[in-house]
Amino acid sequence: MLILITILAVIFVFGLIIFIHEAGHFLAARLVGVGVYEFSMGFGPKLGGFKRRETEYNLRLVPLGGYVRLVGMDPEDQERDAPYSFARHSVWSRMLVILAGPLMNFVLAVVLLTAVFWWQGIPVATTRIAEVLPHYPAAVVGFEPGDRIVAIDGQPVNSWQEISRLIGQQTPKERTITVERAGKTLNLVVLPQPDESGKYKIGIVPEVVQRHLGLIGSIRQGMVTTGNMFHLILAFLRHLLLHQAPADVGGPVRIAVETGKVAQMGFSPLLQFTAFLSINVGFFNLLPFPALDGGRFLFLLWEVFTRRPLDPKKENLVHLVGFMLLLFLIVAITYRDLLQLVGGIGK
């Protein structure tokens, strides 16, 4: 059953992300008037499809990929000089077509996160205590679950953020915390203690409730969360380049395993995981490396500054070399993931 759930989840996640990415290229091509030979979901033998106007829409056997074949992308294309060819359009139109794929991945993330926030809301910590951790100052002086914190050192507090900020101040001194308990007001004096990171705590856990945001609020939160995830990826890449973080990068096998684990947690976590992967796919494709959208965009920038395009055969050769390097990297990471997976099963 677990294997079946994993397979279905992987097909859903990868299929949706790749479809949206390729749909971005396709729609942008249509918008600027570039012809499209084929829009295919999957790789390998053709399972079925149909043709509308000049475009073939196909479903192929392996559901873990997809592609859009544009008129004029191949230097040997007989229609390369046609007015609807990719090569014959302005550099700005071509930039739009290239960037549309990664940008649609970010749009997908916003849509998925918006749906999750609209459906279930967002967790919000309240000023009521849900748990008092043993062996911490709060347990020693008599805090109890259900207490609601109303003031610290006489200063009223209305959110958990305020409570955390006041208690966590880098000043080792006693705090007088006013709580409401069973209709009564109590003042408890407590001395916060530092944790491993040096932040002062007293050992209380807030009660968390789900706050529903409405459609507009959900869209706003979806955009903010997408932006935060993007910045986290940037920060990880920066630490990786500076050797401040381990090169713990997962390949298709590891992603598939993690997808199966998340799918068991429910549909909402799976949507959030899909959004995170979609942001990663969009970010990865924007990297200025040959064979990626970012690499193709870099060649278009070269054309903007030099006012002449690179020889298409030379560009294709660079992309081919880049693709082979990426393929080698994927194989190496997959091999490492398989070794870790087999090692984990053997323990």
Short-list 19, 39, 38, 21, CA closest to 97: 21
Q: Could you report how far apart the first and last alpha carbons of the chain are, in Å? A: 22
User: In the Cβ-directed half-sphere of 179, how many Cα atoms lie within 13 Å?
Assistant: 21
- φ and ψ of 52, to 5 deg: -130, 120
Short-list 285, 265, 274, CA closest to 226: 274
State the Cα–Cα distance between residues 150 and 306, nearest whole angstrom: 65
The catalytically annotated residue of 22, 38, 131, 258 is 22
22 is catalytic: yes
> Please, where are the H alpha helices in the chain?
2-32, 91-120, 137-141, 160-167, 214-241, 252-265, 267-286, 293-306, 312-346
- φ and ψ of 267, to 5 deg: -70, -35
Would you say the C-alpha torsion 109, 115, 117, 120 has a positive or negative sign? negative
Burial class (CB in 10 A: 0-12, 13-18, 19+), 84: middle
State the Cα–Cα distance between residues 32 and 34, nearest whole angstrom: 6
Short-list 267, 319, 297, 295, CA closest to 13: 267
Q: How many CB atoms lie within 10 A of CB 89?
A: 19
Please state, in angstroms and as integers, the Cα–Cα distance from residue 317 to each residue in 46, 161, 184, 270, 321, following that order. Answer: 27, 55, 77, 39, 6
Would you say the C-alpha torsion 271, 38, 64, 245 has a positive or negative sign? negative
Question: Residues with catalytic annotation?
Answer: 22
